[in-house]
Amino acid sequence: MADIIQLLPDHVANQIAAGEVVQRPSSVVKELLENAIDAGASNIQLLIKEAGKTLIQVSDDGNGMSETDARLCFERHATSKIKLAEDLFQLKTKGFRGEALASIAAIAHVDLKTKLAGEEVGTEIKINGTRVESQEPCVTPKGTVVSVKNLFFNIPARRNFLKSNAVETRHVIDEFQRVALSHPQIAFSLYHNGNEMFQLPISNHRQRIVNVFGAKTNEKLVPVEETTEILKVEGFVGKPEFAKRSKGEQFFFVNDRFIKSPYLNHAVTAAFDGLLKEKAYPSYFLYLSIDPQRIDINIHPTKTEIKFDDEHALYAILRSAIKHSLGQFNVAPILDFERNSDLDTPYSYKERQVKSPVIEVDQNFNPFESEKKFASKYSGNLSLNKSNHKPAYTSKKNVGSWESLYTELGSSKNEANFSNVEFESEEVTGNLFEDEKITTSGNTFQLQKKYIVSSLKTGLLVIDQHRAHTRILYEDLLKSITVTAAISQQLLFPLILQFSKQETAMLIELKEALEQTGFVFARIESHEVEIKGIPNLISESEVSIMLDQLLSDFENEIPESGFKQTDLLAKSLAKSMAIKTGSVLDTVEQIAIVNGLFACKEPNVTPLNRKVFVTLSANELEKKFM
């Protein structure tokens, strides 16, 4: 039998390796930015076109490379970071696998310009799909400039799997933020299609977070700091009242490297136990410093997962550090059930000396002496009525002495008016059948503040009020966005809201559709949005919550087409604007929801395909009594 095993050519092996290292344009951005950091750069510029599909360019002012190193860096497993296997457990740099540039060069056109400090000229290398086309001297500033063009040009199948420009741009921004947040000592800038998106100067951790996520982030942050023999924790957590419905602002950095760890994330969530609303996620920016020998970062191609030698200890330290910070800055309530506030020393007595109490006893006190005086005082004023033999007091002076105790009750100013007395409702006092209590009125009634029950010719109809209203609003919003604009209520004072740059960019994309639903925007800037008109169905206090929910939905599911964008917008707004479970509805509102539901095109299900109502026939009711 002939031999069938053979060695793969280098260009094929590089393309296979690229499948692990380079999944999308953001993967290239991550590798190039980390290389620039390892080169000792103090200023890094990222420039992308068409979400990185056409061009990804990273420029830095780092150490640069010699002519030989510039050629050798594109070879497989070529790296300056490690030499021995033992070095894998003492890593203090980013890129160490030696496959990034080789993999990138295998699936794109790469142009590298680099120059060492003190050299007169640098080196320029052009590579086309692992094939070196040219290498020659060039004039370039100190540092390195890497340009990656036409990603996946020789693998069309991989290019077809890329998402829309909006989705890929979002991934690029995520990678840029992760690198920028972990290195505030380096200045970063990002340009997309010639437009500046980020300009981050050299700063500290707190200023870098504020520069990335907007000025309003500063008031949300609670500092966390704890140092132990195992771990050093620094960073910030968000206040519970600013928790979001998405996990967007959650960052773990271990030795200045972004990681994902569900186990440590659970430790943070446990520290917020009892402080968060349902389905709300806390924000955190935590920087962990640990001995490199106690972690293994070589377990995943993208190096976003780390293995710790003692996760239980890290969990306990992280959880206790966050709980301590929340309590220290009066974010979490501190309860002491054994403490009596009545025993607190007043401030005015703080500096006074303690004196022993002195008890004085009157040795001549006689309790019976006062009774004798009382009897003799009224003995001359007490007479008997001969007709009925009842005692009567005739002294006006004495009568006034006891009647004066009730003068306030007799005054007209304090007459009791029982018509305004409010009695406790049955919801407070309760009754034996409180859970089964329903309020009937007209043809419909509300059950448990959640369902609307109406009679049918053949039985009963039970409608979920929140889901029904969501379906009604969803179809109305679709009509408003695509056909006719909705009515808007003008605000007396414009509403100014703070958002991050990427959130503002998403609002700019949705501006036209939002205006069709009733929003009126005065201006939309990098971190600030001014609104002067809102839809009729929502109040001013609900605008911020609704827009946060909308941005969260779009962040998790960025649509690729115009119709999907409109559909997702209508779903998100309808879900936020619909009446909630627990809202009390009068008869008119109940009938309006029933009529509005059955006027919809699809009354049976919600926009998310959840059942809106159920019917209970008379036969099914009869079976319940058998």
Q: Render pLDDT for 234-267 as a digit per residue (tens, 0 to 9).
A: 999 999 888 887 777 899 999 888 988 888 899 9
Q: Which residues contact 623 (CB under 8 A, 6 or more apart)?
A: none
Query: pLDDT at residue 179 above 70?
Result: yes
Q: Report domain extents, the chain.
A: 10-200, 208-328, 444-614
Inter-residue contact 573 to 478 (CB < 8 Å): no
Inter-residue contact 59 to 111 (CB < 8 Å): no
Query: pLDDT at residue 332 above 70?
Result: no
Cross-strand pairs, 553: none
| Start-to-end Cα distance in the chain | 79
Multiple choice CATH, 208-328, 2.60.40.1180, 3.90.1170.50, 3.50.50.60, 3.30.230.10: 3.30.230.10
CA–CA gap between residue 557 and residue 553 (Å, rounded): 6
CA–CA gap between residue 406 and residue 399 (Å, rounded): 12
pLDDT on residue 261: 87
Inter-residue contact 511 to 524 (CB < 8 Å): yes
Query: pLDDT at residue 77 above 50?
Result: yes
Q: Which CATH architecture has domain 10-200?
A: 2-Layer Sandwich (3.30)
Cross-strand pairs, 535: 488
Q: Note the pLDDT tens digit of each residue in 456-501.
A: 888 888 999 999 999 999 988 888 777 777 778 888 889 988 887 7
Query: pLDDT at residue 186 above 50?
Result: yes
DSSP states along 558-592: --SSHHHHHHHHHHHHHHHHSPPTT----HHHHHH
Percent of the chain with pLDDT over 90: 25
- Give which of 9, 18, 1 is closest to 110, Cα–Cα: 18
Dihedral of CA atoms 73, 76, 82, 85 in degrees, nearest 10, equals: -170
Percent of the chain with pLDDT over 70: 78
Task: Give the model's confidence band at 385: pLDDT under 50 very low, under 70 low, under 90 confident, else very high.
Answer: very low
CA–CA gap between residue 487 and residue 517 (Å, rounded): 8
- The amino acid at residue 425 is S
The answer regarding whether domain 444-614 maps to CATH 3.30.1370.100 reads yes
Of 135-144, 289-298, 309-318, which range is least confident? 289-298
Tokens of residue 226, six digits? 């704890």
pTM assigned to the model? 0.68
CA–CA gap between residue 472 and residue 298 (Å, rounded): 52
Q: Note the pLDDT tens digit of each residue in 131-176.
A: 888 999 999 999 999 999 999 888 888 888 888 888 888 889 989 9
Query: pLDDT at residue 432 above 50?
Result: no
CA–CA gap between residue 162 and residue 291 (Å, rounded): 38
